[in-house]
Amino acid sequence: MTQPGDMKENAVDEKASNPELDTVNANYTEAEYKRVLWKVDLVLLPFMWLCSGTQAADKSSISAQATFGLLRDTNLVGQQFSWLTTAFFLSYLIGEAPSNYLMQRFGVNKVLFIYMFLWGVIVLCLAFAQNFAHLVALRSLQGFLEGIMGPALLIITGSFYVSREHTLRSIIWSTSSSGMDIITQLGIYAIGNAAQKQNHNSSFGAWRWISVFLGLWTIILSFFSLLILGTLSEVRWLSKDERRIAAARVASNQTGSDRGQRRPWRWDQVLEAMEDPQTYFFFFGLLISGIPSSGTAAFGNLVYVSFGFTNLETIVKGTVPLDLVSAVWFLFVGFSTLKWPQTRLPSNIAGRTKRSVIGIVMFVGYCVGSAIGAQTFRAEWAPRYIPAIIICGIMYGVMCALFIAWRLYYMAENKRRAKKIAEMRMTPEQSAHQGTINGEADMTDRQNIHFKYSV
């Protein structure tokens, strides 16, 4: 196995022999950096927002569909409706490893397009399901394919943005879960309202038209993703000079700019990821948060109906107001991180393979938690599911305690590294520059003693 000392020597050798690493010392003006950043934001962020929001809408639309006749038309009983969400996330779990490997092997751009197109077809096919077997099979396939979106957007974010920019940009495209849901929920309202006015007893009910609407939209969007989304080495809407400037910007991140050739799969980085405490903080954080998130997402509209609202009222008086509050809150948190940069977690992982592995682990935790969350809403607790809601509240408290422990770990690690760097008699500037070179050589955050964790 390659040792940290060997990696430092290799970093110097690679720097000398690889012209792609010349961007580390490239001299560009602040105006040039801002010009390229503005173009990246203008092109990339809106489309990442659309794709992320579409994925979330396709996944969670089943909650609204349940109030528009899905349960009745497909004869679902007991925990079968819960299993539609659990099956989705179990397949989401299974699909994470192959999707990450395929992106590593063939690139983000083409693999993401194929996955998006296929899951759009699956969502469209849901409109023609007749029973639980049809629904659970299609939802399983949908989950397998949709699992690519989160890791793909994280890779793209890391490819174009420096550490201090990660949180805000990630927050912006994360607001799509609420923002895009507002748009799709209004579309669902229009479909439901029209269907109820025309024919209450139609065999092709409103919930089926919802799947047609979402499926066709996803298919169309997949073709645009082929033109726009990808890593810095894949996209074609930047000129050669703009690529160099963008790569020079990202080089300061010490996680590697992802320019030029694709890095080989590094098994030593896989082993390191399994030994890194960060991995388990990410895993349990997402597992615990996934329990209340998926449960309320799947059963929220049914709970609203139990309060006496109609299926249309659950949208305009329940889902849409909640989404508005969520979107505003996400933006507030995102802008707050510019002044108090305390949550730059994706930037705390260096090494291309290691980032991919921890990305898989993160989504495994999210999927396991989400699969459990759907099952906490038991059929015997209907229609208000009060015990399930209490469980969700407890999970949020546990999550807060975990985040405190996580922060303390980063603070202790930074203190240890600062002491070692002081013993090496290096200035902060020298340490930062060496850390940048090490990052470009694909050293991990643990191998690179000059890497400082954001806390």
- Per-residue pLDDT tens digits for 54-99: 999 999 899 999 999 899 999 999 999 999 999 999 998 888 788 8
Query: What's the start-to-end Cα distance of the chain, in Å?
Result: 30
Structure tokens of 56? 């979330």
**Whole-number Å distance between alpha carbons of 91 and 368:** 10
Q: Residue 351 has what DSSP assignment?
A: S
- Among 10-14, 70-74, 108-112, 260-264, which is the least confidently predicted range? 10-14
Confidence of residue 346 (pLDDT cuts 50, 70, 90): low
Interval 30-59: pLDDT, tens:
888 889 999 999 999 999 999 999 999 999
Residue 278 in contact with residue 355, Cβ under 8 Å? no
Domains and CATH numbers, the chain: 28-254 (1.20.1250.20)
Is the pLDDT score of 318 beyond 60? yes
Phi, psi at residue 131, to the nearest 5°?
-155, 180
Structure tokens of 441? 């050589």
**Whole-number Å distance between alpha carbons of 283 and 171:** 20
Count other Cβ atoms within 10 Å, centred on residue 8.
18
Residue 175 in contact with residue 55, Cβ under 8 Å? no
Instruction: Report angle CA 159, 164, 455 to the nearest 5 degrees.
Output: 115
Structure tokens of 449? 């003693």
Give the global pTM.
Answer: 0.78
pLDDT over 70 percentage in the chain: 87
Confidence of residue 129 (pLDDT cuts 50, 70, 90): very high
C-alpha torsion sign, points 72, 74, 79, 85: negative
**Whole-number Å distance between alpha carbons of 11 and 168:** 31
**For position 340, what pLDDT does the model report?**
63
Structure tokens of 415? 């203190």
Structure tokens of 403? 């985040």
Q: Residue 342 has what DSSP assignment?
A: -
Count other Cβ atoms within 10 Å, centred on residue 88.
29
- Among 125-139, 157-171, 338-352, which is the least confidently predicted range? 338-352
Looking at every residue in the chain, the average pLDDT score rounds to 84
- Establish whether the linkage from the previous residue to 46 is cis, with ω within 30° of 0: no
